[in-house]
Structure 1
């Protein structure tokens, strides 16, 4: 999976906005003003950071050496995912799960605005 596919996939989701709150290299995807994915645009190999359920995070890290606690993030909830060597379906599932976790945490008012 390449960076263009990931960017297009995220932007197709309801209410998504792209921001650069940290620097000009780290693209942050938000829904309702809350982050659901980070992607350093220049980093090789392609890496994303996504939020996951803590129990699933533990399972993912045990099964996939490409998935670790996210740098500068709460490592209980956020994972860094080196996309190289992972199946496309798993990458999309991680993005979907992160988006869904954030979207479901929004207030009804914010959720309707998305």
Structure 2
């Protein structure tokens, strides 16, 4: 996956923005929602990437799934400089299908947004299907 495609995917989610707190070589994608009165919290990281053609992206992942993905795909490892229980490093060298990477980015975003307050989730227009309590229609 090329860096521009990764950037488009990451920035397609509500409240997502790109930051460079570690310098120009590492793009950090975060999600942020305003709270009452328009105040803002610091954004929460859902992806980090070197943004180079054979680079990598670090993505949050449920621990059990992280282990399974690493066992099946040598391109997926524990993420550098992150908690390897919860974060995978994914090579962007074209060996993994783009739709798989897109799904992993979306899962990472969902895991991070699930940790926000309900009010922030509502401001982002986010509703997780599982546990929404609304029956078959959500």
- The alignment's C-alpha RMSD in Å is 1.3
Is 2:103 aligned against 1:97? no
Structure 1: distance between partners of 2:44 and 2:51: 20
Superposition map of 1:30-109 within 5 A: 30-32=30-32, 33-42=43-52, 44-84=53-93, 85-109=95-119
Q: Taking structure 1 as the reference length, what is the TM-score of the superposition?
A: 0.92
> 2:27 maps to what in 1?
27
Q: Give SS of 2:66's match.
A: helix
Larger radius of gyration, structure 1 or 2?
A: 2
Question: 1:9 Cα shift?
Answer: 1.2
Q: Taking structure 2 as the reference length, what is the TM-score of the superposition?
A: 0.77
How many residues are treated as equivalent by the alignment?
113
Structure 1: distance between partners of 2:64 and 2:12: 28
User: Following superposition, which runs of at least 4 residues in structure 1 exceed 6 angstroms of deviation?
Assistant: none
Q: Give SS of 2:54's match.
A: coil
Q: Give SS of 1:29's match.
A: strand
Of structures 1 and 2, the one with the larger relative CO (CA 8 A, separation 6+) is: 1
Q: Which ranges in structure 1 are unaligned for 5 or more consecutive residues?
A: none
